[in-house]
Amino acid sequence: MDVGYKKADAELAHQMLQTESKPGNLDITATLQKSSSWIAGGFSSSVTDTLQLNLVNDAEVLPAHLTLFHHPDNKAIFNVIHGSGYFDVSLVNDIATQEYIPSNQTIKVHPTFDGETNLVVKDLCLHTKKTALAQVSVVGIHTVELIVVDKVQRGNSILSKVRLRDQNGLLLPPISKFVDVDVVITDKTTPKPKILSIGRKTNQQSSSDEILFLIKGEEVGTTSISATATYANRKSSSTAKSIGLPEVACPGCTWCSRGWLRIGNPRVLPALL
């Protein structure tokens, strides 16, 4: 029975939209023109509808790699760009915890253990060519190095350097917000006069991976010192270094670097071999 309309051919009832890998907004409008072949008596007017599309690139996580110092008060912020905005976020290894904030597409990561993991972001609405991920390295202090000469003259000061290394042997920058670094006297076996005084050097130019301390000779004798780094109920110490304050036998004699003894104050010093 003729009810006044025709069934459209399935091949003509849809069109394929081929994008050109360019993001942006796109409006697609479909219109049914006025015609008597569809409904008896025809349309009084055309029928139109518009679909608004937002063409986006595959989701990405920035930064793609981040090193995070292991401290309970520390955190890292990752940004998810592109994509649909609806994501499933996870960590491959549970060395940290993560929290996704949809309102601004950011991810907060808090460290819990030292190690390596991947932050994985899967788009829930779009089929993507690759999964968005970022590499996360959680590092702690595994080695403390103390660099200092083994002699200091009474009344003079020498400079000592402290370096911090992670579990991969890489130098860590001083993290004063989370780490307390100090140089202390370790030789406390017998009561001794105060041989050394130690203080932080605050106005000395240094590389970003060193902490400087001034060590002043107070009394003649021998003692040992070490550097310590304390953070989050964890403590690492360097190997103890022995420092001697020799008794200078002649006036005007001064101990120089490398244990050389300088006599007087000549204008030109011999080169050190």
Check residue 48 and give its pLDDT: 85
DSSP one-letter code for 258: G
Q: Which long-range contacts (CB under 8 A, 24 or more apart) does 27-35 make?
A: 27/51, 27/52, 27/53, 28/52, 28/53
DSSP one-letter code for 1: -
CA 269 to CA 143: how far, in whole Å?
A: 38
| pLDDT tens readout for residues 141-155 | 999 999 999 999 888
Q: What are the C-alpha distances in Å from 258 to residues 128, 149, 261?
A: 63, 7, 9
Give backbone dihedrals phi and psi of 259, rounded to 5 degrees, phi first. 75, 15
Nearest CA among 263, 259, 253 for reference residue 273: 259
Q: What are the C-alpha distances in Å from 27 to residues 13, 49, 55, 229?
A: 19, 10, 11, 60
The stretches in the chain having pLDDT less than 70 are 1-13, 34-45, 189-192, 202-207, 248-273
